[in-house]
């Protein structure tokens, strides 16, 4: 009854508003037009005052009737957990927020670069400026905040099969990685008990941690995944087994051998050298684009063992003598994808060395190197980036190095960086833009400067700003924000 009365009075109030909007004689407030629950208007007042009085009553009742009711069960959230490091100072928060917006032009995952720069100086972000979202892959420092956001109780215990549910998905991965480095057997036992209950995508990431310190002891569990309900998980287990020399496609598999022979017909093994014979695996001329497409497709699908056999080479000889410059980019891309998935670690190291040298010749070589990153540890990635940035003639852009690591490369000095082809190319782009428009437009140049702010040390950052200001850029240019934050954080020490 009360609800129906409230609806009727709300309808009357709506009618009053319509009359007042129209104006004229219809705006005179008379008792028959007003809800019955209202008190009588003061008849001693003029008509205009009565209308104002009615408007006050209408506004009050309307806001009350339309007010959202409180939920039946209100949950009181605990205070935001205190992190291990101190919060960023207020005078740097504005600069940090601008840097945060700049890193988003690369991808949301690059936020970790910025957070790790803060962490290097034992500083954490301010929660009013940044909070993790559910399922974000964030540095371990921010796990308490992630647990608070997702309303999961933060456990201080070590990860076990019994307390698996007390940890967040991102924590599962990081803790398993750490455990695989220290106790591979214990980590494998936890994975074997808990991975099956996870959704396919999470299960894939959990099982992928077995790649760390992969050993013969993992074979039994990997074989048990052959009938997993996720095709990606089955493929992953097959790849890991092949790295261990297990589950290798039999060399007498007729269909596989036929496909490898067809692919080998579209490749050529050449020999050069008078005294020391050197082999070169190059692409053979093809008659049609369809053949090119098939060759690219089969380079990813045909096992390295079968392809090497069809070419009368060993798998090691195949990767050592593959001439990247003599193949189409897509052929190289699929070939390296195949290597990254199935080749043992010693083959991976050979390919990395060869691609690092190939950086001198081809701008896309850096993209081929990126395909091998899942096979490298964090320290190996850091070392690889440091080697690339120290290579004077390597062809790459600085923003292309961000996927390789989320930590600054402190070992790079300005005198080394300034001699690299990547820096000289960036300088030339900046000079051309300043001469043309007097300012730096959104382009590869701005992305390169922002990326350098996330990669280099504070000392190197100072030298970069000084050099670019001499080229004609303004010291107040927002593109310097990441470099400046890097510098200001070091000055807090």
Residue 391 has pLDDT above 90, yes or no: no
Indicate whether 305 and 231 sit together in one domain: no
Residue 254 has pLDDT above 90, yes or no: no
CB 315 within 8 A of CB 305: yes
Whether residue 295 is contained in a domain is answered as yes
Residue pLDDT, tens place only, 141-167:
888 888 888 776 655 568 888 888 888
State the pLDDT at residue 365.
93
Indicate whether 407 and 397 sit together in one domain: yes
State the pLDDT at residue 167.
84
Report the relative pairing of strands 123-124 and 86-87 from DSSP bridges.
Answer: parallel
CB 145 within 8 A of CB 81: yes
Whether residue 136 is contained in a domain is answered as no
Indicate whether 290 and 341 sit together in one domain: yes
Phi, psi for residue 269 in degrees, rounded to 5: -105, 110
Whether residue 284 is contained in a domain is answered as yes
State the pLDDT at residue 464.
95
Indicate whether 259 and 356 sit together in one domain: yes
Indicate whether 292 and 319 sit together in one domain: yes
Final residue belonging to a domain, choices 376, 396, 419: 376
Closest CA to 440 of 476, 392, 393: 476
| Interatomic CA distance for residues 425 and 380, integer angstroms | 27
State the pLDDT at residue 157.
67
Indicate whether 372 and 259 sit together in one domain: yes
Indicate whether 397 and 443 sit together in one domain: yes
| Interatomic CA distance for residues 210 and 187, integer angstroms | 8
Mean pLDDT of the 391-400 span = 90
Query: Of residues 460 and 250, which shows the higher confidence score?
Result: 460
State the pLDDT at residue 92.
94
State the pLDDT at residue 277.
74
Whether residue 365 is contained in a domain is answered as yes
Average pLDDT over the chain reads: 85
State the pLDDT at residue 438.
74
Residue 29 has pLDDT above 60, yes or no: no
| Interatomic CA distance for residues 133 and 169, integer angstroms | 12
Q: What is the DSSP letter of 86?
A: E
Indicate whether 319 and 389 sit together in one domain: no
Whether residue 285 is contained in a domain is answered as yes
Indicate whether 58 and 92 sit together in one domain: no
Closest CA to 115 of 138, 98, 134: 138
Whether residue 157 is contained in a domain is answered as no
Indicate whether 345 and 362 sit together in one domain: yes
Residue 79 has pLDDT above 60, yes or no: yes
Mean pLDDT of the 381-402 span = 90
**pLDDT band at residue 368 under the 50/70/90 scheme:** very high
Indicate whether 56 and 116 sit together in one domain: no
The overall pTM is greater than 0.85: no
Q: Which domain holds residue 426?
A: 81-122+377-493
Whether residue 74 is contained in a domain is answered as no
Final residue belonging to a domain, choices 327, 357, 376: 376
Exposed/middle/buried for residue 206 (C-beta within 10 Å: 0-12, 13-18, 19+):
buried
**Structural domain count of the chain:** 4
Query: Of residues 247 and 37, which shows the higher confidence score?
Result: 37
Whether residue 130 is contained in a domain is answered as no
Within 10 angstroms of residue 487's Cβ, the number of other Cβ atoms is: 19
Indicate whether 258 and 234 sit together in one domain: no
Final residue belonging to a domain, choices 243, 264, 289: 243
């Amino acid at each position: 009854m009360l609800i129906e009365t409230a609806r009727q009075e709300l309808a009357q109030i709506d009618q009053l508003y319509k009359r007042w909007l129209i104006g004229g004689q219809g705006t005179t407030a008379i008792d028959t037009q007003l809800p019955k629950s209202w008190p009588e208007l003061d008849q001693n007042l003029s008509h205009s005052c009565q209308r104002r009085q009615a408007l006050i009553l209408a506004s009050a009742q309307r806001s009350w009737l339309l007010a959202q009711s409180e939920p039946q069960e209100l949950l009181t959230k605990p205070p935001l957990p205190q992190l291990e490091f101190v919060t960023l100072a207020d005078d740097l928060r504005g600069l940090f927020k601008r840097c945060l917006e700049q890193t988003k032009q690369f991808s949301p995952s690059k936020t970790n670069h910025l957070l790790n720069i803060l962490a290097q100086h034992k500083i954490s972000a301010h929660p009013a400026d940044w909070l993790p979202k559910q399922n974000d892959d964030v540095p371990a420092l921010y796990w308490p905040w992630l647990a608070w956001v997702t309303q999961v109780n933060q456990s201080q215990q070590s990860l076990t099969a019994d307390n698996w549910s007390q940890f967040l998905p991102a924590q599962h991965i990081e803790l398993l990685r750490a455990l695989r480095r220290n106790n591979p057997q214990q980590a494998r036992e936890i994975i074997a008990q808990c991975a099956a209950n996870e959704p396919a995508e999470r299960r894939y990431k959990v099982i992928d941690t077995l790649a760390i310190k992969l050993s013969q002891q993992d074979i039994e569990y990997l074989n048990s995944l052959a009938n997993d309900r996720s095709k990606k998980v089955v493929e992953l287990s097959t790849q890991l087994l092949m790295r261990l020399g297990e589950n290798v496609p039999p060399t007498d598999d007729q269909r596989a051998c036929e496909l490898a022979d067809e692919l080998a017909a579209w490749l050529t093994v050449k020999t050069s050298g008078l005294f020391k014979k050197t082999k070169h695996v190059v692409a053979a001329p093809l008659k049609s684009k369809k053949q090119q497409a098939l060759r690219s497709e089969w380079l990813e699908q045909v096992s390295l063992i079968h392809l090497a056999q069809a070419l009368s080479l060993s798998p090691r000889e195949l990767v050592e003598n593959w001439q990247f410059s003599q193949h189409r980019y897509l052929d190289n891309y699929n070939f390296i994808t195949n290597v990254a998935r199935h080749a043992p670690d010693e083959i991976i190291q050979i390919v990395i060395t060869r691609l690092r040298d190939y950086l001198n010749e081809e701008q896309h070589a850096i993209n081929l190197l990126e395909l091998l990153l899942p096979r490298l540890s964090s320290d190996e990635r850091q070392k690889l980036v440091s080697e690339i940035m120290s290579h004077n003639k390597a062809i790459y852009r600085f923003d292309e190095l961000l996927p390789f690591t989320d930590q600054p490369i402190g070992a790079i000095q300005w005198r080394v960086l300034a001699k690299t082809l990547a820096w000289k190319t960036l300088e030339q782009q900046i000079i051309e833009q300043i001469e043309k428009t007097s300012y730096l437009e959104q382009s590869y140049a701005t992305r390169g400067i922002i990326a350098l702010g996330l990669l280099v040390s504070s000392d190197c950052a100072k030298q970069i700003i000084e050099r670019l200001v001499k080229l004609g850029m303004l010291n107040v240019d927002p593109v310097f924000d990441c470099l400046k934050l890097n510098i200001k954080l070091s000055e807090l020490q």
